[in-house]
Amino acid sequence: MRVLSGIQPTGRPHWGNFFGAIHQYIDLQDDNDGFYFIADMHALTTVRDAKALKQYTLDAALDLMALGLDPKKATLFVQSQVPEVSELTWLLMTGTPMGLLERCHAYKDKKEKGLNADAGLFTYPVLMAADILIYDSEVVPVGQDQIQHIEVARDLAGSFNHTFGETFKLPKAKTLDHSAKVPGTDGEKMSKSYNNTLPLFGNVKQIRKQIMRITTDSRAMEEPKEPEGDHLFQLYRLFSSPEDVETMAAMYRRGGFGYGDVKKAVAEASENYFAEARARREELEANLDYVHETLRDGAARAREVAAGVLSRAQKACGLR
Ligand code: TYM
Among 111-120, 130-139, 284-293, the least confident range: 111-120
Phi (first) and psi of residue 77, to 5 degrees: -155, 170
Among candidate residues 110, 111, 169, 264, the one labeled active-site is 110
Q: Which residues contact 187 (CB under 8 A, 6 or more apart)?
A: 215, 231
Position 219 scores a pLDDT of: 67
Residue 110: band (very low, low, confident or very high) from pLDDT cuts 50, 70, 90: confident
Q: What are the distances in angstroms from CA 193 to CA 46, 143, 196?
A: 11, 16, 8
Q: Find out whether 25 and 69 touch, Cβ atoms under 8 Å.
A: yes
Given ligand 1 and candidates 75, 146, 200, 231, which is best to mutate, with the most ligand atoms within 8 Å of its CB?
146
pLDDT exceeds 80 at position 140: yes
The yes/no answer to whether this complex scores an ipTM above 0.90 is yes
Structure confidence at residue 224 (pLDDT): 85
CB-based pocket (< 6 A), ligand 1: 5-8, 16-17, 20-21, 39, 42, 128, 131-132, 140, 142-143, 145-146, 149, 179-182, 189-191
Rounded average pLDDT over 102-125: 89
Using the mean position of ligand 1's atoms as its centre, give its distance from the Cα of residue 8 in Å: 7
| The ligand 1 atom nearest the CA atom of 143 | 20
The predicted pLDDT at position 226 comes to: 87
Mean pLDDT of 6-13: 94
Domains in the chain with CATH codes: 2-181+288-317 (3.40.50.620), 202-281 (1.10.240.10)
- At 78-89, the pLDDT tens digits run 999 999 999 999
pLDDT tens digits for 229-259? 899 999 999 999 999 999 999 999 998 888 8
Catalytic choice (73, 169, 181, 189): 189
pLDDT at 49: 97
Confidence class for position 207, pLDDT limits 50, 70, 90 = very high
Q: 220 pLDDT exceeds 70?
A: no
- Does 192 participate in catalysis according to the annotation? yes
Q: What is the spatial distance between Cα 192 and Cα 9, in angstroms, rounded to a whole number? A: 11
Residues near 162 by Cβ (< 8 Å), separated by ≥ 6?
A: none
91 pLDDT more than 80: yes
Spell out the SS3 assignment of the chain: CEEEEEECCCCCCEHHHHHHHHHHHHHHCCCCEEEEEECHHHHCCCCCCHHHHHHHHHHHHHHHHHHCCCCCCCEEEEHHHCCHHHHHHHHHHCCCCHHHHHCCHHHHHHHHCCCCCCHHHHCHHHHHHHHHHCCCCCEEECCHHHHHHHHHHHHHHHHHHHHHCCCCCCCEEECCCCCCCCECCCCCECCHHHCCCCECCCCHHHHHHHHHCCCCCCCCCCCCCCHHHCHHHHHHHHHCCHHHHHHHHHHHHHCCCCHHHHHHHHHHHHHHHHHHHHHHHHHHHCCHHHHHHHHHHHHHHHHHHHHHHHHHHHHHHCCC
Q: Is 90 exceeded by the pLDDT of residue 278?
A: yes
Annotated catalytic, 172?
Answer: no
Calculate what percentage of the chain has a pLDDT beyond 70: 99
For ligand 1, atom 20, which residue shows the shortest CA distance?
Answer: 143
Ligand 1: centre distance to CA 143 (Å) = 6
The atom number, within ligand 1, closest to the CA of 145 reads 20
Closest C-alpha residue for ligand 1 atom 18 = 17
Statement: residue 76 has pLDDT above 80:
yes
| Residue 97 buriedness (CB in 10 A; 0-12 / 13-18 / 19+) | exposed
